[in-house]
Amino acid sequence: MVVQIPEMDFGWIVPEIAMTVFAAVALLLTLFRKKNSTWLFVEAMPLVGAIVALYFTFQTWNGNIDIFNNLYTIDNFGVFFKGLSLVILILVTLLSYRYIDREDMARGEYYSLLMFGTLGMMIMVSSNNFITIFIGLEVMSISIYILAGLMGGNAKSVEASLKYFLLGAFATAFLLYGIALIYGTTGMLDIREIAGYVNSGNFMVTPTFMAGLALLIVGFGFKTASVPFHMWTPDVYEGAPTSITAYMATGVKAAAFAAFLRVLFTAFHPFLSGWTYMLWILAVATMTLGNITALKQDDVKRMLAYSSIAHAGYILIALTVGDRTLSSTVLYYLLVYSFMTIGAFAVVIILGRQGSPNTGIESYAGLAGRHPVIAAVMAVFLFSMAGIPPLAGFMGKFYVLTDAIRGGYYWLAIIGVLNSVVAAYYYLRVVMYMYFKEPEAEIGAPDVSIGSTLAIAISVVVVFYLGIFPRLFLMIAHTSSAIFM
Amino acid sequence: MGAIGFKFVVFIVAALLVIVSSLLMTTRKNPIHSALWMIVTFFAMAVIYLLLNAQFIAVAQIMVYAGAIMMLILFVIMMVSLDNGAQEQKRFPMAMGTRLSWALVVVVLLVELMFAALFYQATAKVGSYPAEAVASLGNAKTMGMLLYGKYIFPFEIASILLLVGIIGAVVLSRKNK
Q: pLDDT by residue (tens digit) across A26-83?
A: 999 998 888 888 888 888 999 999 999 999 999 998 888 888 888 999 999 999 999 9
Higher pLDDT, A140 or B129: A140
- Contact between chains at B161 and A131 (C-beta distance less than 8 A): no
Report chain B residues whose CB lies below 8 A from the CB of A207.
Answer: 112, 115-116, 120
Burial class (CB in 10 A: 0-12, 13-18, 19+), A348: buried
Residue type for A316, please? L
Per mean pLDDT, which range of A106-120, A124-138, A342-356 is the poorest? A342-356
What does the alpha-carbon distance between residue A192 and residue A71 come to, in Å, rounded to a whole number? 11
Pair type for strands A65-67 and A72-74:
antiparallel
In whole angstroms, what separates CA A276 from the centre of its chain? 22
- Contact between chains at B116 and A211 (C-beta distance less than 8 A): yes
Closest CA to B87 of B37, B28, B23, B24: B28
Alpha-carbon gap: B81 to the closest alpha carbon of chain A (Å):
21
Closest CA to A401 of A417, A390, A389: A417
What does the alpha-carbon distance between residue A328 and residue A77 come to, in Å, rounded to a whole number? 10
Helix (H) or strand (E) holding B61: none
Residue B43, SS3 per DSSP: helix
Alpha-carbon gap: A149 to the closest alpha carbon of chain B (Å):
7
> Which among B108, B152, B161 is the top mutation candidate for probing chain A, defined by the most A β-carbons within 10 Å of its own β-carbon?
B161
- Which region holds residue A441: left if phi is over 0, alpha if psi is between -120 and 50, else beta? beta
Is the pLDDT assigned to residue A127 strictly greater than 80? yes
| Residue pLDDT, tens place only, B103-118 | 898 888 888 777 766 7
- Spatial neighbors of A44 by CB under 8 A, at least 6 apart, are none
C-alpha torsion angle, residues A3, A7, A10, A11 (rounded to 10)? -150
- Which region holds residue A322: left if phi is over 0, alpha if psi is between -120 and 50, else beta? left
> Which among A4, A7, A105, A109 is the top mutation candidate for probing chain B, defined by the most B β-carbons within 10 Å of its own β-carbon?
A109
Per mean pLDDT, which range of A274-278, B19-23, B172-176 is the poorest? B172-176
What pLDDT is attached to residue A152? 73
Is the pLDDT assigned to residue A397 strictly greater than 90? yes
Is the pLDDT assigned to residue B87 strictly greater than 60? no
Calculate the average pLDDT of chain A: 90
Residues 60-89 of A with CB under 8 A from B: 67-69, 71-72
Q: Are A466 and A392 in contact (CB under 8 A)?
A: yes
Q: Are A246 and A96 in contact (CB under 8 A)?
A: no
Is the pLDDT assigned to residue A412 strictly greater than 70? yes
Instruction: Say which of A27, A67, A186 has its CB closest to residue B124.
Output: A186
Q: Are A459 and A340 in contact (CB under 8 A)?
A: yes
Taking every pair of Cα atoms in chain B, the longest distance, rounded to a whole number of angstroms, is 69
Q: Are A179 and A134 in contact (CB under 8 A)?
A: yes
Report chain B residues whose CB lies below 8 A from the CB of A228.
Answer: none
Instruction: Say which of B125, B152, B160 has its CB closest to residue A119.
Output: B160
CA angle at A354 for the pair A348 and A355, rounded to the nearest 5°? 100
Q: Are A49 and A122 in contact (CB under 8 A)?
A: no
Calculate the average pLDDT of chain B: 80
> Which among B106, B123, B143, B148 is the top mutation candidate for probing chain A, defined by the most A β-carbons within 10 Å of its own β-carbon?
B123
Instruction: Say which of B164, B171, B174 has its CB closest to residue A142.
Output: B164
DSSP H helical segments within A296-365, as ranges?
A: 300-321, 328-351
What is the rounded average pLDDT of the residues A464-479? Answer: 91
Alpha-carbon gap: B150 to the closest alpha carbon of chain A (Å):
6
| Residue pLDDT, tens place only, A200-228 | 877 777 778 888 899 999 999 999 999 88
Going by pLDDT thresholds of 50, 70 and 90, the confidence category of residue A394 is very high
CA angle at B105 for the pair B102 and B106, rounded to the nearest 5°? 90
Closest CA to A266 of A453, A417, A78, A58: A78
Taking every pair of Cα atoms in chain A, the longest distance, rounded to a whole number of angstroms, is 77
| Residue pLDDT, tens place only, A150-175 | 887 788 888 999 999 999 999 999 99
- Spatial neighbors of B43 by CB under 8 A, at least 6 apart, are B62, B66
Per mean pLDDT, which range of A258-272, B47-61, B82-96, B111-125 is the poorest? B82-96
Q: Are A116 and A141 in contact (CB under 8 A)?
A: no
Instruction: Say which of A72, A138, A153 has its CB closest to residue B176.
Output: A153
What pLDDT is attached to residue A247? 95
What pLDDT is attached to residue A359? 84
What pLDDT is attached to residue A307? 94
Q: Are A100 and A107 in contact (CB under 8 A)?
A: yes
Q: Are A459 and A107 in contact (CB under 8 A)?
A: no
Report chain A residues whose CB lies below 8 A from the CB of B126.
Answer: 187
Cis peptide bond prior to A372, omega within 30° of 0? no
- Nearest-Å Rg of the Cα atoms of chain B is 21
Residue A67, SS3 per DSSP: strand
Number of H helices, E strands in chain B: 9, 0
Residue type for B123, please? T
End-to-end Cα distance, chain B:
69
- Contact between chains at B145 and A202 (C-beta distance less than 8 A): no
What does the alpha-carbon distance between residue A205 and residue A211 come to, in Å, rounded to a whole number? 11
Burial class (CB in 10 A: 0-12, 13-18, 19+), A271: middle
The answer to whether A31 contacts chain B (CB < 8 Å) is no
- Contact between chains at B157 and A146 (C-beta distance less than 8 A): no
CB hemisphere CA count around A190 (13 angstroms): 14
- Contact between chains at B161 and A139 (C-beta distance less than 8 A): yes
What is the rounded average pLDDT of the residues A134-148? Answer: 95
The answer to whether A28 contacts chain B (CB < 8 Å) is no
Between the CA of residue A300 and those of A234, A238, A244, A437, what are the distances in Å? Answer: 11, 9, 16, 16
Higher pLDDT, B126 or A107: A107
Is the pLDDT assigned to residue B81 strictly greater than 70? no
What does the alpha-carbon distance between residue A356 and residue B13 come to, in Å, rounded to a whole number? 61
Going by pLDDT thresholds of 50, 70 and 90, the confidence category of residue A119 is very high
Beta-bridge partner residues of A129: A190
What pLDDT is attached to residue B58? 86
What pLDDT is attached to residue B123? 55
Alpha-carbon gap: B157 to the closest alpha carbon of chain A (Å):
7
Report chain A residues whose CB lies below 8 A from the CB of B152.
Answer: 5, 68
What pLDDT is attached to residue A419? 93
* Chain B: residues touching A (Cβ < 8 Å): 112-113, 115-117, 120-127, 145, 148-154, 157-158, 160-161, 163-165, 167-168, 170-172, 174, 176
Instruction: Say which of B153, B163, B167 has its CB closest to residue A68.
Output: B153
What does the alpha-carbon distance between residue B132 and residue B126 come to, in Å, rounded to a whole number? 12
The answer to whether A184 contacts chain B (CB < 8 Å) is yes
What pLDDT is attached to residue B128? 64
Alpha-carbon gap: B163 to the closest alpha carbon of chain A (Å):
10
